[in-house]
A and B are shown apart, each in its own frame.
Chain A
Amino acid sequence: MEAPTYIASTAYERPAIHDYSYGTKSVSILELMNASAAWAIVLKHLPFMPMFVQSEDIKPALGNMSLEDLAVFTTMLKPMLPALDKELATLPRVPGKGA
């Protein structure tokens, strides 16, 4: 039995980023906030979001959480997501980088 080794790689090249669509699982809340068309749809369905995203405890996590992730902690959110997803899906896909 040989011990495995984990060897450092030698050079950094930014990985190719694939294109993606807007949705409650496919982007972070921060990305939704930064896309005005997407955020307008979110606010239409979830008008309480501005108050939520101002929370000091939540702010650092906005880039790490999708709306679906948020629903793990706020169960009332879950039923609202399908309609939101349907509308977000009408937005153009975001092109990738180097893919």
Chain B
Amino acid sequence: MTLVDRIDLNRRDVLIATGASSLLMAGGVAEAAPAPRIGRGQSFDLGWRFHRGAGHGFEAPGFNDGAWRAVDLPHDWSIEDLPAGEGRGGKVVGPFAEKAEGGTAVGFAVGGEGWYRKRFRLSAPRGGRVELLFDGVYMDSDVWLNGHPLGSNASGYTPFAYDLTPHLSPSGENVIVVRVRNEGRNSRWYSGSGIYRHVWLDVLPQTARIERWGVVVNTRRIANGEAELDIATALQDAGQGDIVVSRIKDAAGKTVWQAQVPVAHAAEQSASLNAPNLWSPDTPNLYTLETELRRGGRVLDRTETVFGVRIVTFDATTGMTINGTPTKLRGGCIHHDNGLLGACAFDAAEERKVALLKARGYNAVRPSHNLFSPAFFRACDKIGLFVVGETFDTWHHPKKPQDYSTVFAKRWRQDLDTIIRSTRNHPSVVMWSIGNEIPDRNTEEGMALQWQIVNAVHRIDPTRPVTAAINGFPGHSVTPSAVTARAGKGGKADDMSSVFLDLVGYNYKLADYGADHARFPDRVFFGTESFAKDVVAIWDLTDRSPWLIGDFVWTAMDYLGEASIGGSTLVPKANANMPVMPTTWPWVNADCGDIDLIGQQKAPSLARDVVWGISPLEIAVQQPMADDKTELLKAWGWSNEAQSWTWPGSEGKQLAVRAHSSGDKVELHLNGKLINSKAVEAKRVEFSVPYAPGTLEAVAFRGGKEIGRRTLTTVGKPAAIRVTAEKPRGGAGRGDVSFLLVEVVDAQGRRVPGAKLPLTASLSGPADMVGFGGANPQAIGSYQASTAESWDGRAQLVVRGRGSRGTVGVEVKAAGLASGRVALPLT
């Protein structure tokens, strides 16, 4: 039952048009936008029209948008193929332009201006309230209803809402118009452009309501098999006789606590749960708090707040604990894009991203460097990842000329408030980061601002510590007074960058950990960013140091933008000592992730599997190179290794075979013959092996006992395409996306590593193809066309439901190979 259904309706008081929306778009939209009803959180994603480009008069209600394209949300125009003439004189490949204003930072994607219009039928409920909530629009937006300006928003990541009530048309025929501008150089990574997250409509029968993000649940105490919770409910326009009913249900839907109080007592309630199912990444148990605002027996408003019962503590002596159990943050940083889907925050894509990290052993994520979508946080709660909730990438000084710093002074308090209030009930969020590598934080002005932001956070949410990601120079030594310092820190020396922080995040400062711990023995700190290549050293220290509570690698997953900061490059051996710089066009992808752009495991992740105990042994082979070349790693790089023993043309050539193991010795066999046996040092060992097709087998030992075995086998030539749905069933709704893996396989059905082949896909049934491509970090084509190229023998295909159930047939062809087919039921 939905929130819409559960609100007690008095339909005589409202004039809600019934039937389907008057706007059924032609082409690309098969599902009608449902007519609004009374209730909260009604999807407003369907039935929009879109125009890429600027114009005048588009906000006018009578403007004829018949020529505009039909789109459903979420929508990101920067991931769509560029229209002709958008190349600014440079090359254009799919959505990427060599001369894109944002350059390497945004992965050569193009922003600009776009307009959205949506007609809908809704009359103002007499005495009621209608509000529209945008989960996220990148970047600057202006919204009109029936020609009346509702407001503007300048943060591309924070949600915002407008009261539609005063401007709804008496006729019931309305048009909402959104102008979005993503202009200038405003981002250091791929941002996407447009209404890339969901939009929601609230229609309430009275102005009285539960304040948006006004319910908060915190665990105060866990003892003797009981949890004590603090519940606060903020209301708007509630009357003296109104009551608030609060009800907690467990995961099975059973009511485990409830109370009914007059509104005057709603601000503070206490609840007790017997034998609570505690939340942690290992046991992500969730509860739901239902809150109803009632007047005379009628339900005026109703919300559901999902929360978890958990207590998280941080201490330099005991480390980090979750419900009393010591834990470490096995973390990864990620940006918000969803690969081939661009910034579109489909719920299934957000959940998949979280699941991919979890499967690779991560128990923590740092959504960098901004608020992610609600679906992302829900997935972290449900699947079980700790989250560092990050707020800003800049304060008052810019990193890019048109970035958030241009509005920071005016907006930070409001945006901070929104970020925290909208996210604070997620049990996954265990701390707030007030900034990433903030410029000028080491000045007196920056220090004062640090104090203001830290304390602003604590006033909104006193249950979580505050951190920041500090790179490089932490500033000079300072001593705060008792009145200014955080509790217990008055009169104690600290660094300017961290003097008011509860926890200190370090970016790329492994070399300083030991010395800083000696200087600040009661400091709790962790790596907010680190290089993948340091994984062994970092975790060796982290595992034995309670004051070091974890680490977040940059990054857990490849992302668009910051093109080519990872990976490696081949140079003449004579240039081996030259600095290696990131390459530029046509690289569009950072290429520094443990997981690639389409969700497949990369070589650094193999090492992490061993370090984190997921696997006792993993092996990979460095890509063969010319004899006069050497490989240089980029700053965030990793050697170009693959789990492959298929290197045609390299017969007899010495190849580097690298093993990571938790054992003390690794033996390497080629075609049944022992090549070498080596001791493992720092979980790593390297062999040089003359390539010969066949079977390469590594065996790991500890104390003479075998603990693991890995085999790589030479595969045959490409013979067929295999298509596999990641899940046996997909969602049929317009907001549902399903992911399919496309592989180039040999006659025995084994993936052919390194295979780069042109592919052509076709679909039948009730779905659209919204993504098709490989993980190639370079721009090689569209992400939305029916043709793509495999990368390392793989590609990804993403389909989006049309709103009707059925079976989608997917066929992928490659010249000379047997086609791959799959039937995917959408329900």
The stretch of B472-480, B653-661, B700-708 in contact with A is B472-480
Q: Taking chain A's interface residues, is the majority helix, strand, or loop, or is none over half, making it mixed?
A: loop
Interface digits, B443-457 against A, CB 8 Å rule (1 contact, 0 not)? Answer: 110011001101110
Distance from A64 Cβ to chain B, minimum over Cβ atoms (Å): 5
Contact across chains for A65 and B472 when beta carbons are under 8 A apart: yes
Q: Does any Cβ of A come within 8 Å of B635's Cβ?
A: yes
- B485 near A64: Cβ-Cβ < 8 Å: no
A15 in contact with B221 (CB, 8 Å): no
A12 to B481, CA, bound (A): 9
Asked if A28 and B473 sit within 8 Å, CB to CB, the answer is yes
Give the residue of A11, A16, A69, A99 whose beta carbon is less than 8 angstroms from that of B471: A69
Which chain B residues (381-440) contact chain A, with CB distance < 8 Å? Answer: 397-399, 437-440
Instruction: Let me know if A61 and B479 touch, CB within 8 A.
Output: no
B193 located at the interface, meaning its Cβ lies under 8 Å from any Cβ of chain A in the complex: no
Contact A7 B481 (CB under 8 A): no
Which of B324, B462, B483 sits near A6, CB closer than 8 Å?
B462
A83 within 8 A of B: no
A25 to B475, CA, bound (A): 10
Q: How many angstroms from the CA of A69 to the CA of B437 in the assembled complex?
A: 13
Q: If the complex has contacts A6-B486, A12-B452, are A18 and B473 also in contact, measured as CB distance less than 8 A?
A: no
In contact, B311 and A1 (Cβ under 8 angstroms)? yes
Q: Return the chain A residue nearest B577 by Cβ.
A: A76
B462, A64: Cβ atoms closer than 8 Å: no
| Residue contact B483 to A9, C-beta cutoff 8 Å | yes
A16 to B459, CA, bound (A): 25
The total of chain B residues at the interface (CB under 8 A) is 62
Q: How far is the CA of A63 from the CA of B459 in the complex (A)?
A: 29
Given contacts A1-B222, A1-B311, A64-B442, contact A14 B462 (CB under 8 A): no
A17 in contact (CB, < 8 A): yes
Kindly list chain B residues whose C-beta atoms are within 8 Å of the C-beta of A63.
Answer: 439-443, 473
Q: Return the chain B residue nearest A4 by Cβ.
A: B313
Residues of A within 8 A of B399 (CB): 60
- The reply to whether B471 and A15 form a contact with Cβ atoms under 8 Å apart is no
User: Is the CB–CB distance between B479 and A6 below 8 Å?
Assistant: no
Partner of B437, one of A6, A64, A73: A64
CB neighbours (8 Å) of A36 from chain B are: none
Chain A residues at the B interface, C-beta cutoff of 8 Å: 1-18, 20, 25, 27-28, 60-61, 63-66, 69, 72-76, 96, 99
- B749 at the A/B interface (Cβ < 8 Å)? no
Q: In whole angstroms, what is the CA distance A12 to B444 when docked?
A: 12
- Chain A residues with CB under 8 A of B218: 3
- Our pick among A1, A7, A17, A66 for the contact of B487 (Cβ within 8 Å) is A7
B476, B499, B502, B577 pick with most chain A CB within 10 angstroms: B476
- Does B624 make an interface contact (CB < 8 A)? no
The 4 A-B residue pairs with the shortest CB-CB distance, nearest first, are A69-B472, A65-B472, A15-B478, A8-B458
CA distance A5 to B458 in the complex (A): 9
A66 touches B472 (CB 8 A): yes
Contact B324 A16 (CB under 8 A): no
- Choose among A6, A13, A17, A25 the residue that contacts B481 (Cβ–Cβ < 8 A): A13
A14-B447, A63-B441 known, 14 other contacts, Cβ within 8 Å: A3-B218, A4-B465, A6-B502, A9-B483, A12-B451, A13-B480, A18-B493, A28-B475, A61-B437, A63-B440, A64-B438, A64-B472, A65-B473, A72-B508
B219 within 8 A of A: yes
Q: Which of B314, B323, B397, B473 contacts A60 (CB 8 A)?
A: B397
Chain B residues whose C-beta falls within 8 Å of the C-beta of A99 in the assembled complex? 479
Q: Which residues of A contact B441 (CB under 8 A)?
A: 63-64
Q: Are A5 and B463 in contact (CB under 8 A)?
A: yes
Asked if residues B462 and A8 are in contact (CB atoms below 8 Å), the reply is yes
Q: Do B444 and A9 touch (CB < 8 A)?
A: no
Q: Which of A12, A60, A74 contacts B484 (CB 8 A)?
A: A12
Given contacts A6-B466, A74-B579, contact A16 B478 (CB under 8 A): yes
CB distance from B708 to the nearest CB of A (A): 34
Please name all residues of chain A whose beta carbon is closer than 8 Å to the beta carbon of B439 when the two chains form the complex.
60-61, 63-64
A-B contact pairs, 8 of them (CB 8 A): A3-B219, A7-B458, A8-B455, A13-B480, A14-B444, A20-B477, A28-B472, A99-B479
Query: A76: nearest residue on chain B (CB-CB)?
Result: B579
B324 in complex: contacting residue of A1, A12, A27, CB < 8 Å: A1
| Chain B residues with CB below 8 A from A12, complex form | 448, 451-452, 484
Contact assessment for B579 and A3 in the assembled complex, using a CB-CB cutoff below 8 Å:
no
- How far, in whole Å, are A26 and B676 apart by their CA atoms in the complex? 48
Question: B249 at interface (Cβ–Cβ under 8 A)?
Answer: no
CA distance A16 to B478 in the complex (A): 5
Q: How distant is B530 from chain A, measured CB to nearest CB, in Å?
A: 11
